[in-house]
Each structure stands twice: as C-alpha cells, then as structure tokens.
A and B are shown apart, each in its own frame.
Chain A
Amino acid sequence: MEHAYMGIDVGSISTKGVIITKQNQILSSAYIWTEGNPIGAVKKLLKLLQEGFDDKNYKIVAVGTTGSARKLVGTVVGATVVKNEITAHAVGTTTFHPDVRTILEIGGQDSKIIIVENGVAVDYAMNTLCAAGTGAFLSSQSHRLGIPVEDMGEIALKSEHPTQIAARCTVFAESDLVHKIQVGHTKQDIVAGLCAAVVGNYLNNVGKGKKIIGPVVFQGGVSKNVGVVQAFERALDTHVIVDENGHLMGAIGAAILARRNKKRTEFSFDVEDMEFVTREINCGGCPNNCEIICVYRDGDLIDSWGNRCEKGHIVAKKASHLKDVNV
C-alpha cells in the first residue's frame, strides 16, 4: 500500500479537496460550494473524494486543512496539520511552479498577493476591512446583470471598449453600474469593465507598494474568469499563468504540508456518517465575555476554542456533553 495525503480547503464560498501521492500526483479532487455550512460541505466533499479514490493501492496517512474554516474542519476530520491559507497557497504554487515570483490570489471574500524569491515567500499582503474587488463582488454583480458568474469571462472577452466603473466600494460600484446600464452601455462592455475594476481594485489595495515581477501565477476561484485574466495581463503588461488546478492550490498546499509534517494518523472516511454539532457558549468569566466555540462529535465535546484566557477551558469542560448545553 502506498501512502497518500489529503488536503482540504474550506473557504467562505467554496470547499476544495485533493488526495495526492508522494510525487504530488493528484489521485482524486473535488470542488463544491460551501453554502454557509462548512461541516456539511466537507462531508459531501469527502464522499466525492472517496468515489475517485483507489483504496486498494493507497491509504491516506495525513490530512491538512486550510481556509477560513480550517480549525473547525481540522477538528472534524482529525487533521494532522492546520495551516492558514496564505502559507498553503504559497507552498502549493511553488511546488508546481518553482520559478514563480508573484502569486495573485482572488477568492470569494479575500484576496492576497504573495511575493516569492528562490522558491520561498518573502512578502505578502491580504485585503483588509473590505471585500471590494473579490469574487463576492463579481458574483453579486452577475446576479444583477442576470448572467451566470461562470460565463462572465467569455462575455468580457467580446468587449472592445470596457466601461469605466468606479469600484472602490462594492455598493458604489453597483450604483455606478446601474447608471451605466441606464445610459445604454452594452452588457459585454459592462462585464469587461467589472473585470477591469476587480483588477484595478486589487492592484490599488492588496498590490499597493509591491513589485510585481514575472513569472506571475494567478489563482483562486476568480482566476477561472478569463476576463479578469486578460485585464491582469493588460494592467501588468506581462503573461499571467493560470494553472489548471489553480482553484485547488490551497488544498494541494495543505496536503503537501501534511506530508512534510512528521505527524501520521490514518484517515478513515467514516467521519462522513458521524454527527458533528457546534455550539457557541459565552464564557462569562469577565466582562470580555469571550465566545467559545465547542465542537461535538456524536454528542461529546472534542474541541473548543475562542477564549482569551484559561478560564474558558473550565467553562468548556462544564459543557462536555451536548445534552448539558442549553440551546
């Protein structure tokens, strides 16, 4: 039996998973929507991963989780490594593109830039305070225009005169967009304008002050939008690489990190059938009133976090069975 490694990336919008071999060959992969239910999404994801997985010749010996639900999902699947998405993306991308210098990443609600030198990240930035210029912005505008978000890229490519859209703020961008529709701009020009706006916003916020040197790799869900890719190429005046597995890069990075780590625990797909529940309890030990998240497997507490001091552990212990917690 050969060893295999699983990586799971649970973001705000989508949940991604891969199983890889020692040689970074992808044995199985899946990409689904999170739909506001990370635990449910992961169970679904595991079913999909299991379908494509050859359990006669391989066994999964380590699991890495990343993304905004990394901690919760890490507890649920018994991850050996729980890593932030910046590191996971950097590790995944540099493995497949060892000469990369700049990684652009635009996800559902966050966007980041990672600067790489000699295969290691040396600088990064992430959007703060606002999600303008991310996937969430594109998908909300696609609803308004009545165009599936997946088709936006192709439509944008047809435009010859992208509309200028003020995209500093998502809400104001929408006002501007409505105005431009009302004065008669074509849909394709507007969609191309939106793609350019995402790029402009990204370079002005996240990319501010960073030297963007090629090779440039663009990933995250938005990298699937060819309109945005083209807008990036125009703005940066350089070729932008989009890996066919770009949307899985976080998950791949998590799997690679799990492999590099020494910890080994054989993974079983049985978790699909267990019941996981989370509860938020307020500590009440001081006026800070920390919100402690407790995770229960089949009614028993398996992990808790969120407290800023030791008092929280005592409070969580009192709630060690789901039946003791008042809902």
Chain B
Amino acid sequence: MAKKQDLKIAFPMIANYNEVIRYFIEEGMDQTYIKQPKMTRRTLKLGAKYAPDMVCTPFKTILGSMIEALEAGADTLIMAFGYCRLGYYGELAEKILRDLGYEFNYLNLAEYTTGKYRDYLKALDALNPKAKKVQMGKAGLEALKMMQYIDQVEEKYYENCGFAADRKAYKAAYRRFMNDMHKAKNVNDINEGYERCMNTFEEIPVDKGEFPLRVGVLGEYFTVMDEFSNFDLEQNLADMGVEVHRWMNVSHRNLHYPGEKNLHASIKDYVKYEMGPTSTANIWYAKDCAEKNFDGIIHVKSAGCTPEIGIMPVLQRIGQDYKIPILYLTYDSQDGDAGFQTRLEAFYDMIEMRKKVNI
C-alpha cells in the first residue's frame, strides 16, 4: 500500500459548506485542510481574468477561490462535479491553473462518478491511502450531520431574522454557529453549537404580525446558495421585512430529494422531461410556493446558465396560472449591484402593495 503523504487540501468556496469538507478532511482523512479567505471582488476578478468570458459566473468564482487557496498554501485541490457544464469545469479549471504555472495535486471528483462505491473509495485513497475506513465512515456521517445543521440554521435564520425584536442578537447567534462549526473537532462540538444556536433563536422574540410577506427563492444551484454570488439576496430581502424561504440547499437536493419520479408526478402538467441538474426541483418548488400562497418568487441564475434559462417559460406559466409575481435575476460578473437593488426594492414594493389590496 502506498505511504501516507502529508497534504494540505482545499476546496473552492461555496456558501457555508467549506466547514463540512474541512471536518471530513481533518477528522476522517487525517490531513490538513486549508481554508482560503472568504470570496471578495478580488476572487471574482482573478477568476474572470483567467476564465473564458462566456462561461457562467460560478466558474469564475470557483477558479478565483482555487487560486486564493493555492496562495494560502494548499497543495491539493478537490473539485466537485455536477450535471450541467459543471461536470466539465473540473478539467477546465485544472488546465487553466497548470497553464498559469501552479503545481498541485488535483482530485477531480467528476473522474470517479461511475456510480460504484468502489470508485468513490478510490478517490478517497488518493487523499490518504492509510486512512482507516471506520474513522472515515464515522467522520463522513458526522460531516453530513453538520451539513444538515447548517442548512437548518440557515433556513430558520432567513425565515425569521427580518422580524426578530433584536436583529443584531439574532445575527450574532447565526454567526456564532458558523464559527462553532469552524472550530468543531468532534460530534459533540457540532451538536452543542447547533443546540445553542437554535435555543438562542427561540429565546429572541419574533413578531411577524398577522400577514407577513413570504417569498420563495429558487434557481441555479451555486448562485442561489452563495451569498457573495447573489449579493446577499436573502439578507437584503429579510431586512425589508420578508419571510425568506429557500428549498434549494445541499441537504434537500442531495440527501432528501423526493426523487424525480415523485416530482414529475406533482408537476406533470408542466414538465415531461428532465431538463438539467436542478430544473425539475425548481419547477416543483415554484409550484409549491404558489400553492402555499406565497407573495412572490425570485428566480436566481448566473448569466448563460442554460438549464435555468430553460425553465423560465415554465415558471412564467406557473406565475400566470397561480397569479404569483416572479422576479428573474441574472447575475453577471460585470454587474454592479445598483440594478440589483432597484429591481429588488421594486419587487418588494409591488408585493407589499398587492398584499394590502388583497387582504
């Protein structure tokens, strides 16, 4: 068996999930995890400089944060895959980084997606052939638990933070939780952090009045979850006094997905075929929001995201059938956030005035 090599492993920044990867790498694989700085405009500029111009924005931020990880001292990069162009991005990013002269080990998960467990284990072997399977399995399950907690905390936070009596304290609890996950060394740390956060959320009074505005946020996997990429859409909405709902997250999409067959059954009037990695789920969720009488839906995508462009006509039909306003936001690496603010404010005014008339 090959010898263990000490690696410094990094993963591109995505939403709040890097702590989950960190936990698995450190506790399961016995390797060092390097966390690059949070994404900033520098990250995007770096990515945009070296990426093809017409590629979607997430590729640019991913490439930028890979460069920032290498700058932070990482010598091994892991890249995820997906069922759109993302499946090819791993290869493209590696080529660009090697052309730039960076030296690093590269684990492109797209190369191991045969569907057989054996092949996934091969991927892990590449990170540390000496790692014990039991330890890996245990840390893996704990990491998944952390991921679900992160998603649950986020969900609760954005649903309520706009109505909390003490918004600062509410946000502080949220931030503390993320920091706790950053420090977590074992499953107790994870559980304690989660419980403390949820208890604080419960303790802070939340007054939503009789008819709070409710908005469902959906769209392209990366941009809809990542607050840097969507200009902090959910916080902006919440600050206006809106209950923000977002189904799309890693736990829902990758762990508790009701399955395409079930989704198709409930949206069979709208959809015949699968159209992309998240299309069916988004159409299903849009219909779900409409049926729950939400006040509006916001559809988020990066410029040039083909699967999400594909579902827009379907969303327009749902909007007409259920009389629910839908705002379509397209994020481009060239955007300033002035246009974004204008559209968002106008959307808020619209659903608020509409609600007043309808009550």
User: Residues of A at under 8 Å CB distance from B?
Assistant: 68, 83-87, 90, 118-126, 128-129, 209, 211, 286-289, 308
Contact status of A123 and B330, CB under 8 A, knowing A84-B345, A87-B349, A287-B41: no
Determine the residue in chain A with the shortest Cβ distance to B330.
A128
* A120: contacting residue among B303, B338, B357, CB under 8 A: B357
* A287: contacting residue among B40, B312, B338, B349, CB under 8 A: B40
- B353/A288 in contact, CB under 8 A: no
Which residues in chain B, 326-356, are within 8 Å of chain A measured between CB atoms?
326, 328, 330, 332, 334, 338-339, 341-343, 345-347, 349-350, 353-354
Q: How far is the CB of B348 from chain A (nearest CB, A)?
A: 9
Contact status of A211 and B320, CB under 8 A, knowing A122-B350, A287-B40: yes
Which residues in chain B, 287-331, are within 8 Å of chain A measured between CB atoms?
303, 312-313, 316, 319-320, 323, 325-326, 328, 330
Q: Given the complex of chains A and B, what is the CA–CA distance between A287 and B345 in angstroms?
A: 28
- B320/A120 in contact, CB under 8 A: no
Give 28 pairs: A residue, B residue, CB < 8 Å, sorted on A: A83-B345, A83-B349, A84-B341, A84-B345, A85-B342, A86-B342, A86-B343, A86-B349, A87-B345, A87-B346, A87-B350, A90-B350, A121-B349, A122-B325, A123-B325, A123-B326, A124-B346, A126-B343, A129-B303, A129-B330, A129-B334, A286-B40, A287-B37, A287-B41, A287-B42, A289-B40, A289-B41, A289-B42
Name the prevailing secondary structure of the A interface residues. loop
Q: How far is the CB of B136 from chain A (nearest CB, A)?
A: 35
Provide the residues of chain B in CB contact with A287, threshold 8 Å: 37, 40-43
Q: How far is the CB of B96 from chain A (nearest CB, A)?
A: 21
Q: How far is the CB of B65 from chain A (nearest CB, A)?
A: 12
Which of B313, B325, B345, B349 counts the most A-chain CB atoms under 10 A from its CB? B349
Provide the residues of chain A in CB contact with B323, threshold 8 Å: 122
Which of A119, A125, A287 counts the most B-chain CB atoms under 10 A from its CB? A287
Q: Given the complex of chains A and B, what is the CA–CA distance between A119 and B353 in angstroms?
A: 10
Name the prevailing secondary structure of the B interface residues. helix
Q: Given the complex of chains A and B, what is the CA–CA distance between A125 and B339 in angstroms?
A: 12
Provide the residues of chain A in CB contact with B332, threshold 8 Å: 129
Contact status of A123 and B345, CB under 8 A, knowing A68-B338, A118-B357: no
Q: Given the complex of chains A and B, what is the CA–CA distance between A68 and B346 in angstroms?
A: 13
Which of B312, B330, B350 counts the most A-chain CB atoms under 10 A from its CB? B350
* A124: contacting residue among B40, B41, B350, CB under 8 A: B350
Provide the residues of chain A in CB contact with B312, threshold 8 Å: 209
Contact status of A288 and B42, CB under 8 A, knowing A120-B353, A122-B325: yes
Q: How far is the CB of A74 from chain B (nearest CB, A)?
A: 13
- B342/A126 in contact, CB under 8 A: yes
User: Residues of B at under 8 Å CB distance from A?
Assistant: 37, 40-43, 232, 303, 312-313, 316, 319-320, 323, 325-326, 328, 330, 332, 334, 338-339, 341-343, 345-347, 349-350, 353-354, 357
- A288/B40 in contact, CB under 8 A: yes
Provide the residues of chain B in CB contact with A90, threshold 8 Å: 350
* B354: contacting residue among A121, A125, A209, A289, CB under 8 A: A121
Q: Given the complex of chains A and B, what is the CA–CA distance between A86 and B320 in angstroms?
A: 21
Known: A90-B350, A120-B357, A124-B347. 9 other contacts (CB 8 A): A86-B342, A120-B353, A123-B319, A126-B346, A129-B330, A209-B316, A286-B40, A287-B42, A288-B42
Q: Given the complex of chains A and B, what is the CA–CA distance between A119 and B357 in angstroms?
A: 9
Provide the residues of chain A in CB contact with B232, threshold 8 Å: 308
Q: How far is the CB of A206 from chain B (nearest CB, A)?
A: 11
Provide the residues of chain B in CB contact with A122, threshold 8 Å: 323, 325, 350, 354
Q: Given the complex of chains A and B, what is the CA–CA distance between A120 and B326 in angstroms?
A: 15
Provide the residues of chain B in CB contact with A129, threshold 8 Å: 303, 330, 332, 334
Provide the residues of chain A in CB contact with B40, threshold 8 Å: 286-289
Which of B313, B319, B353 counts the most A-chain CB atoms under 10 A from its CB? B353
Q: Given the complex of chains A and B, what is the CA–CA distance between A308 and B312 in angstroms?
A: 30
Determine the residue in chain B with the shortest Cβ distance to A70.
B342
Provide the residues of chain A in CB contact with B326, threshold 8 Å: 123
Q: How far is the CB of B192 from chain A (nearest CB, A)?
A: 28
Q: Given the complex of chains A and B, what is the CA–CA distance between A123 and B353 in angstroms?
A: 12
Q: Given the complex of chains A and B, what is the CA–CA distance between A121 and B312 in angstroms?
A: 20
- B346/A84 in contact, CB under 8 A: yes
Q: How far is the CB of B315 from chain A (nearest CB, A)?
A: 9
Determine the residue in chain A with the shortest Cβ distance to B335.
A129
Q: Given the complex of chains A and B, what is the CA–CA distance between A308 and B332 in angstroms?
A: 18
Q: Given the complex of chains A and B, what is the CA–CA distance between A58 and B313 in angstroms?
A: 51
